[in-house]
Chain A
Amino acid sequence: MTRGRWFAPALVVALAGALTFLTLPVVAIFVRSSPGNLLGALDDPGVLDALWLSLRTTLVAVAIIVVVGTPAAYLLATRTFRGHAVVVTLVELPLVLPPAVAGVGLLAALGPGGIVGGAIEDAGVRLVFETAGVVVALTFVAAPFFIRGAQAAFGAVDRSWLEASRTLGAGEARTFLRVAIPAAAPGMLAGLALAWGRAVGEFGATLIFAGSFRGRTQTAPLAIYERLGTDFDAALALSAVLVAVSGALLLTAKLLGGRGIARAAR
């Protein structure tokens, strides 16, 4: 055998192993949930409530993330300042936090006994056990996915375009809205799809911070967990729906991200 001939096969083995391991659970969900029981489970009003709640809460969370995250990401991408790296790291921290830690942290901060929870309650806002609390948990865990993507997208926009826009008399706000955002849009949308996917899948922080109540705080992942013991078929069916939704979001992110890179290269 010639020297080094083992290397390519080893790569193939690693990839085959990774691919099998990573796709097997997803395949199993579809193998074990027949189309019939999938439709049957979707007849369950509790399942529909959970999917509808997930849709509503994730949309609101994503909207908040985009409105606040876009200018924040623009600032991080276009300015350097002291502590820039620290700020970026802090913003990205929820990416690596275990969801249970996020839930405990949110409870300790915004719960009734939390460090700012009293003030929030005085303002008449209730979060724990409320749909608004679910939105808070989703926003916390998903925001970094968007901010990271948007920051990278803004960073990839050709600086000369922004300068040209300003030389031509557009103010900075106008440049941001009319030049930077359109140019960064594919990358931002890719980040948005990832953030949305993370929000759809959120479990631990929601359960710990917002609780689990049908139609109010029980999102699709919490409904799966509740059905695990009593109705495994329904848990499988709901899982299948979430796989489809998450897969579609990931695909969107890929397609948009690819286009963004292609545009940046032009």
Chain B
Amino acid sequence: MRRGFRSSLALGAALVATILIVAGCGSDDTAANNGNERGEVVVSAATSLKSAFTRYGEQFAGAEAQFSFAGSDELAAQIRAGAKPDVFASANTKLPDALFQEGLVERPRVFASNRLVLAVPAMSTSVGSLDDLEKKGVSVVIGSESVPIGAYTRKVLDRLDGAARTAILANVRSNEPDVGGISAKLTQGAAEAGFLYVTDVVAANGRLKAIELPAALQPQVAYGVAIVKGAEHRRAAQAFVAGLLDGDGAEALRSAGFEPPGQ
């Protein structure tokens, strides 16, 4: 019985080795196949780019675009942990610049700019201006500090006087991990107001309305894109980025409400 068990173990080990070898060959084969025909391009992008990029992806001829949308900070963390998408598009320039410094991505480019607005449900009557956020009991949702929308929002609040800032922060009910969370809380009527990009309000298809912020409070919102070092589909990634700067991608961004870089 014991002998039987031991030889089972030996045979088992042999089987594992075989499986590993077969799996190894398999991955070599796929790597070799990537060169030809229409491949794919894997894009990690900020949630706020979702509608613009989805539309661009449908038109993009260079490859089948596969998107992963999340908070820019989460996507950057994945790349730091060793994930290799082909393209990283962030709702700021800080994260791609930092990844560039760390040698994880190629030199980033600014491809769009955006604008922060105060977003409220379309039917809302309780909040009509920034001042209304100071009223006691108004429920406000913002992005968490680590995600770009949250960092920009804190910049806006920092430009207000102390009393106003304190009153608004006291009304913050949730720090959401990305713009999708903020948008959902507003469209569901769970919160009365939130800070979003103007493009998020456009993407909500009439369920949200935007209240413009005074120009003096407006932070500079620039979107950076970079090709990830060691990208598996580098050529497609270059074409994808080029289209963002000038082409179908740039057009999709404009119709989603993004402005050209440096505006």
Binding site for B on A (CB under 8 A): 5-6, 8-13, 16-17, 107, 111-113, 128-129, 207-208, 210-214, 217-218, 225-230, 232
Contact = CB atoms under 8 A, between A and B. Distances in A.
Contacts of A208: 181, 184
B41 interface: no
A211 B176 CA distance: 7
A13 B16 CA distance: 7
A13 B12 CA distance: 5
Given A13-B16, A213-B175, 17 more contacts: A6-B11, A9-B8, A10-B15, A13-B19, A113-B188, A113-B189, A128-B190, A129-B190, A207-B177, A211-B174, A212-B144, A212-B175, A213-B172, A226-B175, A227-B146, A229-B76, A229-B77
Nearest to A129: B173
B73 A230 contact: yes
Contacts of B76: 229
B16 A16 contact: yes
Contact of B12 (A9, A217, A227): A9
Interface string B165-197: 000000011111100010011001111000000
A214 B142 CA distance: 13
A116 B11 CA distance: 61
Contacts of A207: 177, 181
A212 B176 contact: yes
B176 A9 contact: no
B189 A12 contact: no
Among B8, B71, B147, B172, chain A packs the most CB atoms within 10 A around the CB of B8
Interface of B: 4-5, 7-12, 15-16, 19, 71, 73-74, 76-77, 80-81, 139, 141, 144-147, 172-177, 181, 184-185, 188-191
A8 B76 CA distance: 45
A211 B9 contact: no
Contacts of A214: 175
A232 B77 contact: yes
A227 to B, nearest CB: 8
A121 B232 CA distance: 53
Given A113-B189, A211-B185, A230 B11 contact: no
B22 to A, nearest CB: 13
Given A112-B190, A211-B173, A214-B175, A16 B184 contact: no
15 contacts: A9-B7, A13-B15, A16-B16, A128-B190, A129-B139, A208-B184, A210-B174, A212-B144, A212-B177, A213-B173, A218-B175, A225-B177, A226-B177, A228-B74, A229-B77
A46 B38 CA distance: 48
Contacts of A9: 7-12, 15
Given A129-B191, A211-B141, A213-B173, A16 B12 contact: yes
Nearest to B77: A229
A138 B173 CA distance: 19
Nearest to A103: B184
Contacts of A226: 144, 146, 175, 177
B89 to A, nearest CB: 16
A1 to B, nearest CB: 9
B174 A12 contact: no
A14 to B, nearest CB: 9
A218 B146 CA distance: 15
Nearest to B76: A229
B194 to A, nearest CB: 11
A107 B177 CA distance: 18
Among B5, B15, B190, chain A packs the most CB atoms within 10 A around the CB of B190
A107 B190 contact: yes
Contacts of B139: 129
Contacts of B174: 129, 210-213, 217
A13 B123 CA distance: 60
Nearest to B173: A129
Nearest to B81: A232
A207 B184 CA distance: 11
A98 to B, nearest CB: 16
Contacts of A112: 188-190
Contacts of A229: 71, 73-74, 76-77, 146-147
B184 A230 contact: no
A8 B190 contact: no
Nearest to B4: A8
Given A226-B144, A229-B73, A111 B190 contact: yes
A151 B71 CA distance: 43
Nearest to B73: A229
Contacts of B10: 9
For the complex of A and B, list the 8 residue pairs with the smallest distance between their C-beta atoms, beginning with the closest: A211-B174, A229-B73, A9-B11, A129-B173, A12-B12, A113-B189, A9-B12, A8-B8
